[in-house]
Homo-oligomer: A and B are copies of this chain.
Amino acid sequence: MKVRQLTFRLLQVYADVVRTGSLTATANRLHLTQPTVSQQLKRLREIVGEPIVRHEEGRLVPTEVGQALYQLSQDLLSRADVFSQYVEEYNSGGRGHFSIGLVNTAQYVLPRLLGPFSQANPQVDITVEIGNRQQMLNRFERHEDDLYVFSHPPLDDDVLAAPFLSNPLVVVGPEASHWADVNDLTMEALKDQRFLLREPGSATRHTFDAWLYSAGIELRSTQQIASNEAIRLAVASGMGLAVLSRHVVADAPKGIQELPLQGFPLKSRWHFVVRRERRLPPAAYRFLSFVQGSLAQAFEEPEGGLAVAELLQALKVER
């Protein structure tokens, strides 16, 4: 058999001929003329190199080889169909894979979106990458993930960013700290305190530093600690104060409390970030759509279903 010349169309037609036992019937069913079917059949026979049907009592019945060919056709066609369905599902985003890169702090809130999405789309498999701002920027540069969450999106023409959630940064002290009761508390009053800060690559640190700079304040004593969790514990044990995302505090308030500092919370927002050029996997697209629809329920203070919708729109145009 000349496999090379074989087409699925021929197999479709042939399978129908075997089922109906009649060229005319197949022609009608497939909206073709009878001679067309006749010729298709002839060509298939030439490809196979062996007669595949014979006349028997006015019907066309497959020969021995034809019978085997029929089974083959069924088999191949149904496999192709399964694949076809798979592609459709993939395309709708209901199936497949995407990866999302999260800045550390965002891991406190994203599960509230990822969890329900995952539940609703069990066939979608998500890789979550987590790191500080710098690490994420590196991944972003290397195009390693499909989707990112930054509070300060990298600026680039190629980058699309949609804010979706406010990320207020607050100053925290140990539980029952006397600072909590001070009125009109200012940073001036705290600048001699020891501050426990994330490493310079972190977004929280970056924002705080910028604010300090613009306020013309220099801290006396700082200590660098690499994880939000470690900072929380340190603050709770009285080692100092810290600046954290309010979401971190809300997530695990044990032993710490927010201080009512003037000028705080510092405003910042999380953004979904994608590269315009990169084709977003349908599953990621579906995730963003899902997010857009569920922001209001998931958070008190979403920042932009609208912005996410615009991002989706922009991506749709790219397709």
Contacts and interface: CB of A to CB of B under 8 A. Distances in A.
Interface residues of A, number: 34
Nearest to A49: B87
A316 to B, nearest CB: 16
A96 B66 CA distance: 12
A153 interface: no
Contacts of A81: 3
Interface string A62-96: 00110011001001110111011011001100001
B87 A65 contact: yes
Contacts of A84: 1, 3
A71 to B, nearest CB: 9
A220 interface: no
Interface stretch (A4-12, A101-109, A199-207, A292-300): A4-12
Contacts of A64: 90, 96-97, 281
B4 A6 contact: no
The 7 A-B pairs at the shortest CB distance, nearest first, are namely A1-B84, A6-B8, A7-B7, A3-B80, A72-B83, A4-B9, A3-B8
10 contacts: A1-B83, A3-B80, A4-B8, A5-B9, A7-B7, A51-B279, A64-B281, A65-B86, A68-B83, A75-B79
